[in-house]
Chains A and B, each alone.
Chain A
């Protein structure tokens, strides 16, 4: 995607705050030692086309949670979305919400605590997570889930496992899609009076003389991906701007800056608009970025269907119940319940797709019937009457595969994997009952852990270690929460926890005069 051009001078004049000492706000921890230098003000338009209290950028979980909270706090709210459709990645996600210590878990006898969730996040994240932010997510998870149920009306039907978690804590939306929560958040935001403006793309953030984030330069009537469509307009935010614009998995140029291995041939699970221009626009006005090179590939996508598809909801349900093998050897090669990064790296090391297998018993127990039906219909999951038939279909050495299944079944019986230390669930049964189901797995770019530096109040921190007054970020555009690896189903939690904080704080930010 091409970047936005810096815009020409229909604008007043360049106004800089060059002088040292014109400090903004109160420093974050450690800032006292840093030299305090105000960031340059940007072109401030002579006239604003529109003025509201709070502008939210993005209509995913984070943006809409922010909109609902900002509106609830009494602010006039305008939500901008560059695409023709709302929801970003949130509306095409699998709808699993990680939360610890919930009523749903208790009913199933699952013992879980925020501390355990935090420990899982830090372990997967290689402790690169900003611990205070990760803690906010783990400790806020139950409250966030309950808010989506009680205030927003979202429905969850089961508690799933995702690789890298110690227990089942991923609460699955009733329709197996994030659409359940996004659409109810949107309806709530609208019923509260938030204005949603589609096809409006952010070109530039505007900081005023005092360093405060004053507003935005946008393109209204933008027809993705035509960068010259629509008309330029300026929108002022009296109180604050919330960036909830998502990650940059579809931005091949930007992701290659940070990880040159992620060339175009690595496809992405993301919606086509998951590009990084808002993140970069924030950096251009002095926002600091963090851990941009930690880009996650999902190990559960299939080369036999495009995008995210059905396979992740087949594969992720089966780990801990079924086995994953290298078709070349017919043998297991990596811990099925490992985290996303470990597993994606292991498959890439193979150099060809892996195969995940479940028998009739495991599949019936874990995979939603509709998911299975669709996955088979689309050709991503295949069904076999015998293990030999399955092995031959993937050109595996039949004998070696048969032995591997027998070995796996031995581990299942004693609930302990001596080879790869896969977590095997108590209710797991041996892979022995026909029909057998299998899917090929090849990773796709899924989540960008890096992003803007934020503090516990979702305030965006600048390169001078000061919060940029009036600027907030939440969801995938913010970085640091997940460190090296985001665990599956923690994105929903992250978005709702920090989206709510960002919305509330933006609404309460001291109004500009």
Chain B
């Protein structure tokens, strides 16, 4: 029963992710600073009430409180595209210079995230290393799970009870 509920939740999460990516998504203001939430989100509450002003923050500044690898980490809480933007990896870095950006693919990801390092970094994850499988080897499309502009998806969970936490 628990599994069924978890899968139903996953399905809902997928639908929400899909929704977020389109109609409900705020209009992106390309010129906005990465930490300037209201530039795009307007009045929507995206931060806790007493959060420090973020307008001039970059990823290093965020990480001072939200230390990666700890319970305070932003992994899974902030869309990865925001982490990228805060680390000065802007739209063009992945999508190129274009008026009509298309989804980026693994080819772009591995230019910064060398696959061998990624695989090594998750070697101890149980019950399986999420970055290498009998299906795709170490060549699975990154964005199948690491959705950038919406919530991440644990794609493996469709067929496996792998409780991966992912950014």
Contact = CB atoms under 8 A, between A and B. Distances in A.
B77 interface: no
A87 B22 CA distance: 27
Contact of B18 (A199, A223, A231, A269): A223
Interface string B22-45: 110000000000000000000000
A176 B134 contact: yes
A92 B141 contact: no
A228 B135 CA distance: 29
Contact of A221 (B7, B18, B19, B102): B102
A229 B147 CA distance: 14
A221 B135 contact: no
Interface stretch (B55-63, B84-92, B111-119, B155-163): B155-163
A430 interface: no
Nearest to A90: B135
B136 A87 contact: yes
Contacts of A435: none
B139 to A, nearest CB: 8
A85 B156 CA distance: 12
Given A85-B141, A198-B141, A220 B158 contact: no
B136 A91 contact: yes
Contact of B102 (A220, A225, A271): A220
Contacts of B15: 225
A336 to B, nearest CB: 25
A119 B143 CA distance: 45
Contacts, number: 76
Interface residues of B, number: 30
A92 B100 contact: no
B158 A306 contact: yes
A221 B160 contact: no
B134 A179 contact: yes
A50 interface: no
Interface in B142-165: 143-144, 155, 157-161
A84 B106 CA distance: 10
B93 interface: no
A397 interface: no
A308 interface: yes
B140 interface: yes
Interface in A265-320: 269, 271-272, 305-309
Interface string A341-385: 000000000000000000000000000000000100111000000
Given A91-B136, A306-B161, A85 B102 contact: no
A83 B155 CA distance: 12
Given A228-B22, A306-B7, A307-B159, 7 more contacts: A85-B140, A86-B136, A177-B134, A183-B139, A221-B102, A307-B158, A374-B127
22 contacts: A84-B103, A84-B144, A85-B155, A176-B134, A177-B135, A183-B136, A198-B105, A198-B141, A221-B103, A223-B18, A223-B21, A225-B15, A228-B22, A229-B22, A269-B159, A306-B3, A306-B158, A307-B159, A309-B159, A378-B127, A378-B160, A378-B161
Interface of B: 3, 7, 14-15, 18-19, 21-23, 100, 102-103, 105, 127, 133-137, 139-141, 143-144, 155, 157-161
